[in-house]
């Protein structure tokens, strides 16, 4: 698994740059350009999923959703599809005249790309610049084909590359016995009053939440008084647990 994420995020920045550059490049042979785009797209998806699995992304970035269009599968036609034909997107097997606007999670789209049942197909504008890509996983093949705009994907790749977890808390829920984790980025600490909203009030006492709030505020501001407040809250929590 990943120990230091900064190098993987550096790679993501390179993939985002390649996607931008090659999507608007019209001087290369189409086959070579699509290969470079496909490579950067798949490697960026793998890297994002790897960082998600390694808990190297803040909760805010990890819970991002992307806007997509879904094209329904023609289930009856798909019954007779050969394994070879299944690898290519075809209007015989998906209704490309109908689409539904939707959104899917970051993890879901990376899974679609990593486990793609088809060769990724790109869409182009009148100037032959790439607008987006079609993809579908084995799991969803009989449900729908997924289309995502390339700018939408690049913006998320940029956000993942810029993400930095500056605070992580883990605790065991006394009611369920399950471990819970909260990972916060620097932006999450700017409004110190909203910090407790990231935590489960049912699993943590008010004194503990206040200690967390003041502790995170100390990390964000460096004010010694916030650390003193956090210590006072911890002591209050300990006194209540002993009472």
**Could you report the per-residue pLDDT of 32-64, keeping only the tens digit for each?**
999 999 999 999 999 999 999 999 999 899 999
CA dihedral of residues 28, 31, 32, 33 (deg, nearest 10): 60
pLDDT at 164 over 80: yes
CA dihedral of residues 153, 157, 158, 162 (deg, nearest 10): 150
pLDDT at 113 over 70: yes
Residue pair 148/79 in contact (Cβ under 8 Å)? The answer is: no
Q: Is the pTM of this model over 0.75?
A: yes
Q: What is the mean pLDDT of residues 53-82?
A: 90
Tokens of 241: 């647990």
Tokens of 163: 């993400």
């Amino acid at each position: 698994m990943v120990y230091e994420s900064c190098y993987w995020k550096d790679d993501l920045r390179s993939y985002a740059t390649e996607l931008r550059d090659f999507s608007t490049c019209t001087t290369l042979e189409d086959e070579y350009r699509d290969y470079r785009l496909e490579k950067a797209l798949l490697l960026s998806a793998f890297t994002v999923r790897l960082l998600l699995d390694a808990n190297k992304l803040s909760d805010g970035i990890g819970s991002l959703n992307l806007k997509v269009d879904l094209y329904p599968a023609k289930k009856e036609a798909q019954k007779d599809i050969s394994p070879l034909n299944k690898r290519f997107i075809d209007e015989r097997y998906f209704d490309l005249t109908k689409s539904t606007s939707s959104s899917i999670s970051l993890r879901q789209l990376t899974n679609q790309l990593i486990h793609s049942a088809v060769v990724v197909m790109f869409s182009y504008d009148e100037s032959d610049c790439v607008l987006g890509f079609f993809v579908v996983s084995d799991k969803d093949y009989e449900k729908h084909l997924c289309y995502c705009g390339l700018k939408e994907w690049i913006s998320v790749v940029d956000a993942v590359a810029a993400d930095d977890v500056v605070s992580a808390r883990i605790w065991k829920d006394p009611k369920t016995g399950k471990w819970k984790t909260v990972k916060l980025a620097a932006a999450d600490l700017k409004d110190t009053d909203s910090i407790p909203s990231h935590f489960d009030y049912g699993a943590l006492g008010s004194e503990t939440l206040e200690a967390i709030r003041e502790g995170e505020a100390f990390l964000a501001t460096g004010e010694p008084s916030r650390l003193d407040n956090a210590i006072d809250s911890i002591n209050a929590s300990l006194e209540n647990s002993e009472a």
